[in-house]
Every structure is written in C-alpha cells, then in structure tokens.
Amino acid sequence: MNDSFVTNGWPMFSTYTDSINKMIPEAKAIYELREVGDTPIDIEAESVHPVCQHLKTQFGFHVLEVITGCDYPDRIEVSYILANFTDNQEVILKTKLSRENPVVDSVSDIWSSANFQERECFDMLGVHFNNHPDPRRILCPDDWEGFPLRKDYKTQERYRHMIVNPESKMNIEDREFANKQKALEAKQKALEKTKADAMAEPKKVAEIVEDKKDDQGEKS
Amino acid sequence: MNENFSNQEKLKTDLLTINMGPQHPATHGVLRVEIKTDSEIVVQAIPHIGYLHRCFEKHAENLDYRGIIPFVDRMDYLAAMSMEWGYVLAVEKMLKTEIPLRAEYIRVLVCELQRIASHLMFFGTYLIDLGAFSPFLYAFQKREWILRLFEELSGARLLYNYIWIGGVWNDITDQQLKGIEKFCHEMDLEIAKYHKLVSGNSILINRLKNVGVMDQNLCFDYGLTGPILRAAGVKWDLRKNRPYSIYDKFNFEIPVGEGFKGTLGDCYDRYMVRMLEMEESLKIIRQCLEGIEAGDIQAKVAKNIKLPAGEIYSKSECPRGELGYHLISDGGKTPYRLKIKSSCFTHVSALPAVAAGQLIADFVATIGSIDIVLGEVDR
C-alpha cells in the first residue's frame, strides 16, 4: 500500500534534505511531516535545476512522473514528483513562485518527460520555464487568453469572432445552484467562526450534533 | 555556376509536411500529428493535442468529492472503472477509510474485467490499423459480454459511476459470478484462438518486429509506464511492486517483453505483453471468484465528505499505464486542486523520439502500439 511506502519513506526524507543542503546550500531544503497524505520537500525556486540533477545522479530518481502547479492567493506552488523504479522510492519536491512573475528553470534537459509537463503547467497556470525547448501552449489554442487553472480566471468573451460561452448553451440552473451552495458554505463558515470566537469548548458539542445529523440524513 | 550539374541535382528536395489527423482513423481519436516527410520516411513528428480538452481539473475544483467520480469516467472511456478506482483510492487514503472485503473483491473483479475489455479493444483496433479486419469482430464479441455485465451491475455500458467512495454502488449476484466463471473458461479458448490466428502469423510478425523500438532508457527518460515499460523488459507493475487494495493476496506473474520475435521493446513485444496480461488478469479473476465472501459492500462514510488539509499523490495501474492523482485539499468540501497524471499524455510525448527515421506505415503501427485514448490525453 502507499501508506506503508510513506512510513518506509519517512527516514529517507532527512537523508534527502541533508544531502541536498550539503551539496546545494542555497536550496534550503526542509520538510514537515504530515499526518495525512504525503510529505513534500520544500526547496528554493532558484535551485530547482541543480537539486533535480543531484537527486537523479545521487539517488537514482530516473523518472519524472508529473509536474503539478497550484495557484494560491499569494503564490504559485509547483510540485515535481520524482520516482525511482529500481529502489521503489518516490519524492515530492515543492517550490514557491511569486504570482506576478512565476519563473523557474526548466528541467527538460534532465528528463525529457518534463517537456510536455512544463508546457501544460505554462498553459494552465502561466508558469514560465527558462530554457524550455518548445515553450508553447499545449491544450488550449496558441492565441488563447489567460490561464484557466488560476483561481481568478475569467473566460474571455470572444475567441476569433466566436462567443465562448453563449447564453443559449449555458446551464443557468446549475450555475445558480452552485452559487447558492457557495453562499451557504460561506454563511456556515462565518457562523462557525463566530461560534468559535464566542466559546471554545461548546463548539465541539455543536460539531458532534452536526455529524449526527449527517449520519441520520444518510440513513433516511 | 557549375555547368556540370545534372538535372537531378537541380530538383527541389524540400521536406513535405503532412497532417495525420485529427480525423485520421489510425490515430484512435482526435490526435493530430504533423509529420515532415522525406519521400516515405518520417523526419520529424510533432503531436498536436487538445481537441478534446474539457479541463476536468477546473471542474473538479467546483464539485464535491462524490460528484467528481462521473467526471473521471469520461477521461479514459475504455477503462472507466480503473479511472474511478484510482480517484477513489486517493480520497480513501486521505480519509483513512477501511473498505469491506467484499467491496475490495468486487473492485478487483470489475477492474480486471475492464483490463481485459480494454486490451481486447486494443487487439481489435490495432489489427485494423495493420490491415486485418476479422480479429476485430472476434474481439468485440467478447468485449460485448463484459460490457453487458457492467450494464447489469451499474446501468451503463461505458461510463459507470460504479465504484464509490467507501465501496461500490451495487452488489454482484451469485448468478453473475457464475457467469464470469463461464466467461473465464471461454476466454481461455478465445485467447488461444487469437494466438493461433494472429500472434504466430508471419505477416504480422514481419510487420511488427524491430519496428518502433522503445528501450528501457527511453522509457525512463520519458516516464513511460504500463505495458510499454514492461515490453522494454522492466518488471514494474504497481499491482506487484506497490500493491494497493488486496492485490498482495493474489498469485500472478508480470509478463515482460523478451524480444519475442525481434528487438526488445519493439511493437511486437508491446502487442504480446498485452495479450499475456489478459491471461494474468484471468488468473486474478479466478482467484477472486474463489475468495469472494458475503458481506457489506459499502463502508460508513460521512454524508458531507470533508478531507483533512494536506496533499496526496496516489497511483494505480490502469490498462494503459500508471494513473496518478495529485490531490491537494484545504479542508473544504471540494478539492483545492486535483492534478491528474495521465499515462497517455506522457506516452504521446515520446512519439517524436521514436518517429524519426521510420516509414510512414511503420509510424502508424507505432501509434497503434502505444494504445492511447485521446480522452485521457486531453482530459
């Protein structure tokens, strides 16, 4: 199971970070063990390329599985998931970029699979990769505007004289429903916050009651 | 000017650009490959993808965790069960849900049947690419039986929404289990027939051997997984090397390429590995039928699923390769980010590396042998 891999992998995290920090001190590799899920290793954006090269030569991570970009209000995080099939190891490297000018060195000279992955990351989130051999969009058309997976993305109105979201084809009911759900969620969050501010301990009781309600709802 | 130039040397020798696709029948969907050719030889191939881009990753950010399952179905529509299972595994690992044993057995059963159905589809369509029509009809007969079973189970032929978080939707009946047992027996005979009809056929062997060689280094460099990696001689299968669910209970082999008729990792090896994998899947299904016991099919899961904040990268072995879900949660009802690592997407990226220097007809054989589904490439 993946869980057993995680527990087996735990002692390895420190060896990775120690080795990286010894060879490339400016990478500042750190990790924080997470209780659920996988633990990423954080590194500085400027040293992504040397760290990847080091991990490949030193620890035999000969496969780059995927590059994930994730948009946060104040930063863009890019994760590199590397794998070693001979020793059955896996590691998640994570780096933070600024939202206004996200630039990072390309690793496509280390792994060829990075070529498409980086193109997708650029297409979806607008992260620029230095020294990329083919920096084009991959899934959207070349003259598409904006980066769809950014949280503040708004679809352009027209694309080459075509209306992108014509009203006749929009599912307005679905949209209204989603907006309603979102408003409800925001309301609940605000309520929970005020409750938590008012009294710390009774909040737990309230939560338990809510959970019970959920269970009953499931049965009925 | 030199007057000794012959007429031939004055001829124009530019490369000719040809678009293969997006409606080319040999590209299995809407893949466009721009090939630059020197007479019959491919000099450069540039894949253009995105014709089927629906951005499920953006959709997923606005859906609750249960609502995403029908969407992941629509990625690889030929192996929808495996797509669902991969997603559900990621969510269950975050929730730390324990799945009832019967549900696990049913999941293995349907996913191995799905693997057979998907490989049968490969077998049929690949041979059509190569010019043989009748194997397609044989393959679709058996695939039809599997789809009928899935229709009985889930109500749909292709897009099931059958594997749910915490279990499966519907229980499997004893009658259906008996039917599967009968099917296994028929399938054994059927595969023997395929080998007799196709695998040993000297036309096929001469067509496929030494064509489109993807060796071990290329596989690692481009991150290729699944049958392609195994055809290159690497014994790597997530079901064995990093067993998820109850795969550690089963006794089965990992078929790898040995250069059956030519070079290691050529088109024939990839074809043969898939055929052998079907036999191994039948082995797993038989063991499932022995081991399955009565019991629950759904674990208790909260009505409103909220994942704890954190992230996970979870992989599973699909018919076409490794499928990974990188799920980032902020503790809410919807995922903050769901990145889907699709094996077909990485496989397409390796096409230019093998295309250079091939004949155009061999390039068609190579595209068919990596067995891509464009729904998964574009997501």
Residue-wise pLDDT tens digits, A155-178: 888 888 888 878 787 778 887 888
Residue B197 has which token pair? Answer: 């009809």
Is the CB of A217 less than 8 angstroms away from the CB of B303?
yes
Q: Say which of B93, B303, B348 has its CB closest to residue A218.
A: B303
Element (H, E) at B325: strand B321-329
Count of CA atoms in the C-beta half-sphere (13 A) of B262: 21
**Shortest CA distance to A115 belongs to which of A66, A162, A46, A155?**
A66
ipTM above 0.90, yes or no: no
Question: Cα separation of B204 and B260, whole Å?
Answer: 13
Is the CB of B221 less than 8 angstroms away from the CB of A38?
no
Contacts with A141 from chain B: Cβ below 8 Å: 50
Is the CB of A79 less than 8 angstroms away from the CB of B326?
yes
Asked, as a colleague might, if the bond just before A135 is cis with ω within 30 of 0, I would say: no
Q: Are B128 and B30 in contact (CB under 8 A)?
A: no
Q: Are B340 and B214 in contact (CB under 8 A)?
A: no
Q: Say which of A1, A36, A120 has its CB closest to residue B94.
A: A36
Of residues A27 and B236, which shows the higher confidence score?
A: B236
Residue A3 has pLDDT above 60, yes or no: no
**Shortest CA distance to A52 belongs to which of A87, A12, A92, A18?**
A92
Residue A8 has pLDDT above 80, yes or no: no
pLDDT for B7: 60
Is the CB of B337 less than 8 angstroms away from the CB of A68?
yes
Across chain A, what does the average pLDDT equal? 81
**Shortest CA distance to B262 belongs to which of B222, B309, B215, B294?**
B215
Question: Cα separation of B379 and A73, whole Å?
Answer: 25
Contacts with A3 from chain B: Cβ below 8 Å: 93
pLDDT for A216: 54
Question: Cα separation of A102 and B211, whole Å?
Answer: 42
Is the CB of B241 less than 8 angstroms away from the CB of A124?
no
pLDDT for A198: 80
Is the CB of B222 less than 8 angstroms away from the CB of A148?
no
Q: Is B348 on the interface with A (CB under 8 A)?
A: yes
Is the CB of A148 less than 8 angstroms away from the CB of B55?
yes
Residue A200 has pLDDT above 80, yes or no: no
Residue A6 has pLDDT above 50, yes or no: no
Chain A: nearest CA to B349, how far in angstroms?
A: 6
Is the CB of B223 less than 8 angstroms away from the CB of A63?
yes
Instruction: Please state, as a whole number, how many other Cβ atoms lie within 10 Å of the Cβ of residue A89.
Output: 17
Q: Which residue of chain B comes nearest to A38, CA vs CA?
A: B312
Angle at B220 between CA A33 and CA B79, to 5 degrees: 80
Element (H, E) at B34: strand B32-38
**A111-145: per-residue pLDDT in tens?**
988 999 999 999 988 899 988 888 888 888 888 88
The crossing angle, in degrees rounded to 10, of helices A202-219 and A172-198 is 150
Q: Which residue of chain B comes nearest to A189, CA vs CA?
A: B332
Question: Cα separation of B113 and B179, whole Å?
Answer: 12
SS (H, E, C) A10-38: HHHHHHHHHHHHHHCHHHCCEECCCCCCC
pLDDT for B9: 63
pLDDT in tens, chain B (379 residues): 455 555 666 667 788 888 887 876 566 778 888 899 888 889 999 998 888 888 888 888 888 888 899 999 888 888 899 999 999 999 988 888 888 999 999 999 999 999 999 999 999 888 888 888 888 899 998 899 999 999 998 888 888 889 989 888 888 888 999 999 999 999 999 999 999 888 888 888 998 888 888 888 999 999 899 899 999 988 888 888 888 888 888 999 899 888 888 888 888 999 999 999 999 999 999 998 998 888 888 888 888 888 888 888 999 999 988 999 999 988 888 889 999 998 989 999 998 999 888 888 888 888 888 888 888 888 8
B65: left (phi over 0), alpha (psi -120 to 50) or beta: alpha
Contacts with B322 from chain A: Cβ below 8 Å: 65
Chain A: nearest CA to B68, how far in angstroms?
A: 14
Return the amino acid letter for B87: Y
Q: Is B244 on the interface with A (CB under 8 A)?
A: yes
Q: Is B317 on the interface with A (CB under 8 A)?
A: no
CB pairs under 8 A between A and B: 121
Question: Cα separation of B370 and B349, whole Å?
Answer: 11
Contacts with B353 from chain A: Cβ below 8 Å: 112
Output the CA torsion B89→B95→B100→B106 (10° steps).
Answer: -20
Angle at B36 between CA B31 and CA B40, to 5 degrees: 105
What confidence tier does A213 reach under pLDDT thresholds 50, 70, 90? low
Contacts with A140 from chain B: Cβ below 8 Å: 50, 53
Is the CB of B302 less than 8 angstroms away from the CB of A215?
yes
Please give the biggest Cα pair distance in chain B: 90
Cβ-Cβ contacts under 8 Å for B261 (sequence gap 6 or more): B205, B208, B209, B268
